[in-house]
Structures are given as C-alpha cells and as structure tokens.
C-alpha cells in the first residue's frame, strides 16, 4: 500500500472517492484523513475546483463519496 502525498508535503493513507454515476470506472479521488476530511486549503486551485465540483454534483453526476484506504 502506497500512501498518497498531498500538496502540503505530508502523506495520508486515505482518499475520498466520488465515483461517476454514468461512466463506470471513472472517479475523482482526493487525499483525506480517516474521517474523510480534505484539507482544501492545501490543494492547488484546479484540484480544489474539481473537489468542490464533485461535492456539489453528488446525486447528479457522482455517487455519494466513499473513504478508501490507499
């Protein structure tokens, strides 16, 4: 198991995944803690926008997120 390195330089063993409702196998994944909290302040602008988009589209384009051990 390889830990995910986030943009602040620390590593995490977890990621939060937003699976597409329409394209099986496609998902957005972001580093998080064991409870699913994402440090959005440490994300670059483009990735932060993707995270906020995925959150806003739960139930429309994406399934409810799941926390996965990476």
Q: Give the tens place of pLDDT for each residue, 23-68.
A: 999 999 999 999 999 999 999 999 999 999 999 999 999 999 999 9
- Return the domain boundaries, the chain: 4-69
3-state secondary structure of 18: strand
How far is the C-alpha of 45 from the C-alpha of 68, rounded, in Å?
23
Q: How confident is the model at residue 3 (pLDDT cuts 50, 70, 90)?
A: very low
Q: Which residue has the higher pLDDT, 20 or 1?
A: 20
């Amino acid at each position: 198991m390889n830990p995910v390195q986030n943009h602040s330089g620390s590593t995490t063993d977890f990621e939060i995944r937003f699976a597409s409702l329409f394209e099986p196998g496609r998902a957005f994944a972001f580093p998080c803690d064991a409870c699913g909290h994402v440090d959005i302040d440490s994300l670059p602008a483009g990735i932060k926008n993707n995270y906020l988009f995925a959150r806003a589209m739960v139930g429309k384009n994406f399934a409810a997120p799941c926390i996965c051990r990476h």
